[in-house]
């Protein structure tokens, strides 16, 4: 079930959402600090994290899927958000330098086509950052946060999906080790949870933050052809017992040509048989 934009905004306005925004934003700090002139796009509900890219990026856009809804962003200045089909983005090929995917992959009906569309709009050498719920984490098992909705992924599943859709994973970060409970004590101890989980590489992180680059050369798709016996009609003449010449066709049917092979009658002027 896809949450609408009202529920997503309410979560990030809550204390638990502020905790998630702080730690996920820390994992995305290097990705969201592009060089001057870069074009950055967020897909899904990435507006809580896109503010970090507005200072230096040439252009920052936010695309939100129709099932989720759209909100005006940013709060100040001209709106840079719009409603779009995630599988048919209204952008030309190779126009974006970086794409941030948040609350999009786990809710997508066709992850392969989603990544192929992102590949299309990315420029050569463009980079993708995906924030995806961890299948083995507590945040994917509890529906009190948006990360508890949709399809979570393991690290192996994400690697296979990216390589299948022509992306090369380069860096990997797990974050949100603190349990997603509305407890002030747990929220205050979230930095300790992060330090312990990162140092011990514990498997129950809430989300994966993976960065990947676009492969420049697309492999040729070789389709295997089915080998089979092909029947070609061949006419083979064969004489039957009545003096007819039979020619067999490819479908097993026979065509007969009758010829009287009797000798000419003696004294016949035309030479025709009697």
Tens-digit pLDDT profile for residues 24-57: 999 999 998 877 789 999 999 999 999 888 878 8
User: Residue 141: how many CB atoms within 10 A of its CB?
Assistant: 16
The residue ranking higher by pLDDT, 20 or 242, is 20
Q: What is the mean pLDDT of residues 149-165?
A: 94
Q: What is the mean pLDDT of residues 232-247?
A: 57
CATH number of this structure's domain 5-214: 3.40.50.150
Measure the N-to-C terminal CA separation of the chain; round to a whole number of Å. Answer: 93
pTM over 0.95: no
- Tell me whether strands 244-248 and 236-239 are parallel, antiparallel or unpaired: antiparallel
* Confidence at 76, pLDDT banded by 50, 70, 90: confident
Share of the chain above pLDDT 90, in %: 62
Is the per-residue pLDDT at 5 higher than 50?
yes
Closest CA to 153 of 206, 196, 109: 206
- Could you give the angle at the alpha carbon of 165 between the alpha carbons of 164 and 168, nearest 5°? 85
* Confidence at 3, pLDDT banded by 50, 70, 90: confident
Q: CA–CA separation, 175 vs 205, rounded Å?
A: 5
Is the per-residue pLDDT at 74 higher than 80?
yes
**Would you state the pLDDT for residue 228?**
53
What residues contact 76, with CB distance under 8 A and at least 6 apart? none
**Average pLDDT for the chain:** 84
**Would you state the pLDDT for residue 221?**
53
**Matching residue, tokens 């040439």:** 58
Q: CA–CA separation, 194 vs 174, rounded Å?
A: 9
Could you list the beta-strand ranges (E) of the chain: 39-44, 59-64, 81-83, 96-102, 122-133, 167-175, 207-214, 236-239, 244-248, 254-258
Q: CA–CA separation, 20 vs 171, rounded Å?
A: 20
DSSP state of 154: -
**Would you state the pLDDT for residue 256?**
43
Strand partners, 127: 98, 213
Q: CA–CA separation, 253 vs 260, rounded Å?
A: 23
Domain ranges within the chain, ordered by starting residue: 5-214, 231-274
> Quick one: CA torsion of 17, 22, 54, 34, rounded to 10 degrees?
-140
φ, ψ at 55 (rounded to 5°): -70, -40
């Amino acid at each position: 079930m896809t949450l609408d934009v009202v529920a997503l905004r309410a979560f990030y306005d809550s204390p638990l959402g502020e905790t998630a925004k702080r730690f996920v934003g820390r994992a995305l700090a290097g990705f969201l600090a592009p060089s001057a002139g870069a074009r950055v796009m967020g897909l899904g509900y990435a507006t809580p994290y896109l503010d970090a890219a507005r200072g230096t990026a040439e252009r920052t856009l936010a695309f939100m899927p129709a099932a989720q809804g759209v909100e005006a962003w940013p709060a100040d200045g001209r709106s840079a958000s719009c409603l779009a089909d995630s599988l048919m983005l209204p952008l030309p090929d190779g126009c974006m330098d970086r794409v941030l995917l948040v609350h999009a992959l786990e809710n997508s009906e066709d992850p392969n086509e989603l990544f192929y569309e992102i590949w299309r709009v990315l420029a050569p050498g463009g980079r993708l950052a995906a924030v995806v719920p961890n299948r083995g984490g507590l945040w994917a098992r509890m529906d009190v946060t948006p990360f508890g909705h949709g399809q979570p992924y393991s690290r192996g599943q994400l690697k296979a999906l990216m390589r299948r859709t022509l992306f090369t994973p380069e860096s990997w970060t797990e974050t949100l080790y603190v349990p997603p409970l509305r407890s002030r004590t747990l929220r205050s101890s979230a930095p300790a949870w992060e330090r312990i989980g990162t140092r011990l590489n514990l498997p129950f992180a809430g989300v994966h933050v993976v960065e990947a680059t676009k492969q420049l050369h697309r492999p040729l798709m070789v389709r295997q052809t089915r080998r089979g016996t092909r029947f070609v009609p061949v006419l083979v003449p064969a004489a039957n017992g009545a003096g007819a010449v039979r020619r067999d066709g490819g479908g097993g049917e026979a065509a007969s040509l009758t010829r009287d092979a009797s000798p000419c009658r003696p004294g016949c002027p035309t030479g025709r048989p009697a």
